[in-house]
Chains A and B, each alone.
Chain A
Amino acid sequence: MTTKTAAPQRLRPVRRTRTNNARRRESLTALGMATPAVVLLIVFLVVPVALAFALAFTDARLISPTPARFVGLRNFTQLFTDPVFYKSLRNTIYFAVVVVPLQAGLALVLALLVNAKVRGINFFRTVYFLPVVTSMVVVSLLWTFLYRQDGLVNNIISTLTLGHFQGPDWLGDPATAMPAIILMSVWQGVGFHMIIWLAGLQTIPAELYEAAELDGATTWQRFRHVTWPGLRSTRTFVLVTITIAAFSLFTQIRVMTQGGPLDSTTTVVFQAVRTGYDQQQTAYAAAISLIFFVLVLTVSLVQRFLTREKD
């Protein structure tokens, strides 16, 4: 772009003012193009974040005849004595710790399979990607039925074991509710990261594989020394996006379990939404969101540090 407009002007160096004018016009254009994005960012990102910071130290409510007052750290002291908050925190971390390696690993395996040059591969790519384009609410509703005591999952288990084993009430039992949600979430999300891995795989030059093959490298060695290093930046991206998505676990919980049974599936975001909307405690919810923000920020920074370019 720049060279195209600048080139003819260089032919006529006499008219320097024109260059300045052109530059000014250019920066005006840039400004015009940046403004919508900047405005949207400010209105929907910067302002809400700033508001959350401010509200967390007040007693603002969703419905209230009195204006919000500054109450200092009251929301936070209340939060740190709230047993449900600790359960939410623990569940969120539990979910992330299991989902991140599981989903990233499974997605990589699928990507490697789908990257093979066999017939009908587009069919499999579509099949694996299908859950991703289905709304999470729909997926959650469907799986709620699958997971019922007399649902499809238990019917299959019963049939496979010839009726010797009766499956649990997946979402109604504190011991199985979270694993059931993890399984479903991985199933839903794995296709998306498969596509990202796939994109990464296809940036690796085929010559490297040919060279490795000529050198007599085994399949594993090719993966270890060509594929894995070649996926470096993809890896960072997948890791960061899965982690952040895992921390913001909400839709499945809202639709399938509402945090129950016995708080075994409540998460930080779910608690913030429940507190803010259902219980009308805006300020308290802002405090929870603030903690969530700090949590995600910390994890992202740690990840950035661990996956930094070492040279």
Chain B
Amino acid sequence: MVFRTRRLAAASVAAAAATALVAGCASGSGGSSSGASGDTLTLWTHNAGNSAELDVVKKIIKDFNGSQSKYKVELQSFPQTDYNNSVVAAASARKLPCLLDVDGPNVANWAWGGYLAPIDVTGSQVPVEDQLDSTVGTYNDKLYSFGHYDVSLAFFARKSVLDEHGIRIPTMDKPWTKDEFDAALAKLKKSGKFTYPLEMGTGGSGEWWPYAYSPQLQSFGGDLIDRNGYKTATGTLDGKESVEWGDWFQSLVTKGYMAKKSGADPNKDFLAGKSAIQWDGSWNATKNAEKLGDDLAIIPPVDFGKGPKIGGASWQWAMSSTCSNKEGAQEWLKFSRQTKYFVDYAKATSTIPATNEAATQVEDYQPGGRFAVLVQFAQKYATLRPVTPAYPYISTEFQKAAQDILAGADPKNALGQAAKNIDNNLKTNNNYSG
């Protein structure tokens, strides 16, 4: 009996070990190159469920496949929430596709991690130099990605409401100053018509926090990290100007100007008249204009001292480092760089076209168009999130600090702890040098 049990156990372990070995080999045998079988290339996008943008991707693929007979691109789309995890998992298993899209601020991290290969798109219809800076992803002076569009944040308001309360409608030449903005909010609050006059989407999560609020921090003169070498956040993220931003950000809640956590659909609340001024993306510009018509004011970001700022970079195209058919992948990337596709994206998704030439072909964004001002925001105010492999970590720390500040934490302590954590992360990763 004992003998049998032991033999059974031994055999089971042997069988299991064999299975594990086979499984291990299977994941290892992908080798160092994949993502294509011969001249058929796989392309991944985060656009499942976003049919407007996905249709443009499909169109480019169809045009490309029809334009020549050598290469064939096949599309695979993921829901945005699962996309990054899928890429990381595929990368660990060395199963990345040849072509993939990547959120702008992640480019440095993925390039450093060895997921992406530098690309060469010289000879394509649109030169890279023509693009908005924020739509080009570089790391260590090499080009890794480019996007067809960018988005811009702006304040949206009703002209009639601002006029009624004697609030000046700012322009790019003369944006609101901090004092002016605070005074405007005080007036709106005092009118009693709005529970919260300002809506900045504080119910959002993830990358929205650094995207929406770190430009305000930068306008105060602070930043997420010392951009000189990207080696420390202490003294910058918890510096005097950053703490001033924290105090101001917190005061919005303590003075009752802004909800600690806004509703599920902030734009709906704004359009319903629940809030007077909304800090939101250009993606809602069309919807707002349709509802409010000429009453809609598109207002530049507030100048808190160092000029108005917005975050730059949206989704961009890149090539994986494990791609076994890099020529084919670059052919597709080059092919997609035609002005007509830049135009298609902008029209389909009401985003800002990445080149001036494309902008002139989109009614809303051409000079004099109703959203032309958003193009200028993207050109003049866009600041890239720190281009360092540490960015995903910095992003989570900033998000937590900002949320804690709104929940009542001392801004100096919250930012100080975040800066300390970031420095520690940089140190234990050898400043992401290797």
Q: Give the interface of A toward B (CB within 8 A).
A: 23, 27, 30-31, 34-35, 38-39, 42-43, 47, 59, 61-66, 74, 78, 83, 145, 169, 171-172, 174, 258-263, 274, 277-281
Contact B16 A35 (CB under 8 A): yes
Contact A59 B396 (CB under 8 A): no
Nearest CB of B to A171, in Å: 8
Sample of 6 A–B contacts (CB below 8 Å): A39-B15, A39-B20, A63-B91, A63-B115, A74-B428, A258-B205
Contact B23 A43 (CB under 8 A): yes
Give the nearest-CB partner of B390 in chain A: A280
Residue in B91, B113, B260, B392 whose CB lies within 8 Å of A279: B392
Residue in A23, A145, A261 whose CB lies within 8 Å of B403: A261
Contact B8 A34 (CB under 8 A): yes
B11 at interface by CB-CB < 8 Å: yes
Nearest CB of A to B272, in Å: 14
Nearest CB of B to A119, in Å: 42
Tell me, in angstroms, the Cα distance from A175 to B221 when the chains sit together.
34
Nearest CB of B to A183, in Å: 19
Nearest CB of B to A70, in Å: 13
Contact A279 B8 (CB under 8 A): no
Contact B407 A261 (CB under 8 A): yes
Residue in B8, B424, B425, B429 whose CB lies within 8 Å of A27: B8
Contact B428 A59 (CB under 8 A): yes
Contact B12 A35 (CB under 8 A): yes
Main secondary structure of the interface of B (DSSP, over half): helix
Tell me, in angstroms, the Cα distance from A281 to B392 when the chains sit together.
11
Contact A278 B113 (CB under 8 A): no
Contact B88 A62 (CB under 8 A): yes
Q: With contacts A27-B4, A261-B403 known, is A65 near B112, CB below 8 A?
A: yes
B219 at interface by CB-CB < 8 Å: no
Q: Which of B395-434 contact A (CB under 8 A)?
A: 396, 400, 403-404, 407-409, 417, 424-425, 428-429, 434
A274 surroundings in chain B (CB, below 8 A): 396
Contact B85 A277 (CB under 8 A): yes
Contact B8 A63 (CB under 8 A): no
Contact B113 A65 (CB under 8 A): yes
B305 at interface by CB-CB < 8 Å: no
Contact A31 B11 (CB under 8 A): yes
Residue in A47, A66, A258, A280 whose CB lies within 8 Å of B434: A66
Contact B20 A43 (CB under 8 A): yes
B112 surroundings in chain A (CB, below 8 A): 63, 65
Tell me, in angstroms, the Cα distance from A59 to B429 when the chains sit together.
8
B19 at interface by CB-CB < 8 Å: yes
Contact A172 B260 (CB under 8 A): yes
Tell me, in angstroms, the Cα distance from A280 to B19 when the chains sit together.
29
Give the nearest-CB partner of A141 in chain B: B264
Tell me, in angstroms, the Cα distance from A61 to B393 when the chains sit together.
12
Contact A38 B409 (CB under 8 A): no
B261 at interface by CB-CB < 8 Å: yes
Q: With contacts A43-B19, A62-B88 known, is A281 near B260, CB below 8 A?
A: no
Q: With contacts A172-B260, A277-B85 known, is A78 near B20, CB below 8 A?
A: no
Tell me, in angstroms, the Cα distance from A63 to B392 when the chains sit together.
11
Nearest CB of B to A58, in Å: 11
A78 surroundings in chain B (CB, below 8 A): 424, 428
Residue in B110, B261, B417, B434 whose CB lies within 8 Å of A172: B261
Residue in B8, B113, B400 whose CB lies within 8 Å of A64: B113
Interface size on B, residues (CB 8 A): 40
Tell me, in angstroms, the Cα distance from A78 to B425 when the chains sit together.
11
B109 at interface by CB-CB < 8 Å: yes
Contact B12 A38 (CB under 8 A): yes
6 tightest CB-CB pairs across the interface, nearest first? A261-B407, A63-B113, A65-B114, A42-B16, A38-B12, A39-B16
B7 at interface by CB-CB < 8 Å: yes
* 5 additional contacts (CB under 8 A) given A63-B115, A279-B393: A35-B15, A38-B13, A63-B109, A262-B404, A279-B396
Nearest CB of B to A107, in Å: 33
B23 surroundings in chain A (CB, below 8 A): 43
Q: Which of B12, B396, B434 has the most CB of A within 10 A?
A: B12
Q: Which of B85-109 contact A (CB under 8 A)?
A: 85, 88, 91, 109
Give the nearest-CB partner of B87 in chain A: A63
Contact A260 B425 (CB under 8 A): no
A145 surroundings in chain B (CB, below 8 A): 264
Contact B20 A42 (CB under 8 A): yes
Give the nearest-CB partner of B264 in chain A: A145
Nearest CB of A to B226, in Å: 20
A174 surroundings in chain B (CB, below 8 A): 407-408
B91 surroundings in chain A (CB, below 8 A): 63
Q: With contacts A64-B113, A279-B396 known, is A47 near B20, CB below 8 A?
A: yes
Give the nearest-CB partner of B408 in chain A: A262
A31 surroundings in chain B (CB, below 8 A): 8, 11-12, 15
Give the nearest-CB partner of A263 in chain B: B404
Tell me, in angstroms, the Cα distance from A47 to B401 when the chains sit together.
36
Please encode chain B, from 66 to 77, with 1 for each CB lying within 8 Å of some chain A CB and 0 for all others: 000000000000
Q: Which of B218-271 contact A (CB under 8 A)?
A: 260-261, 264
Give the nearest-CB partner of B389 in chain A: A63
A42 surroundings in chain B (CB, below 8 A): 16, 20
B408 surroundings in chain A (CB, below 8 A): 174, 261-262
Q: With contacts A43-B23, A65-B114 known, is A169 near B12, CB below 8 A?
A: no
Nearest CB of B to A10, in Å: 18
Tell me, in angstroms, the Cα distance from A206 to B23 when the chains sit together.
54
Please encode chain B, from 376 to 391, with 1 for each CB lying within 8 Å of some chain A CB and 0 for all others: 0000000000000100
Nearest CB of B to A87, in Å: 12
Tell me, in angstroms, the Cα distance from A262 to B425 when the chains sit together.
21
A169 surroundings in chain B (CB, below 8 A): 260-261
A63 surroundings in chain B (CB, below 8 A): 88, 91, 109-110, 112-113, 115, 389
Q: With contacts A42-B16, A65-B114, A258-B205 known, is A281 near B425, CB below 8 A?
A: yes
A61 surroundings in chain B (CB, below 8 A): 429
B8 surroundings in chain A (CB, below 8 A): 27, 30-31, 34
Contact B404 A260 (CB under 8 A): yes
Nearest CB of B to A35, in Å: 5
Tell me, in angstroms, the Cα distance from A280 to B392 when the chains sit together.
8
Give the nearest-CB partner of A34 in chain B: B12
Tell me, in angstroms, the Cα distance from A66 to B428 when the chains sit together.
13
Q: With contacts A65-B434, A66-B434, A279-B396 known, is A261 near B404, CB below 8 A?
A: yes
Tell me, in angstroms, the Cα distance from A1 to B113 when the chains sit together.
57
Give the nearest-CB partner of B205 in chain A: A258
Q: Which of A47, A66, A74, A83 has the most CB of B within 10 A?
A: A66
Tell me, in angstroms, the Cα distance from A13 to B109 when the chains sit together.
74
Tell me, in angstroms, the Cα distance from A78 to B423 when the chains sit together.
13
Give the nearest-CB partner of B19 in chain A: A39
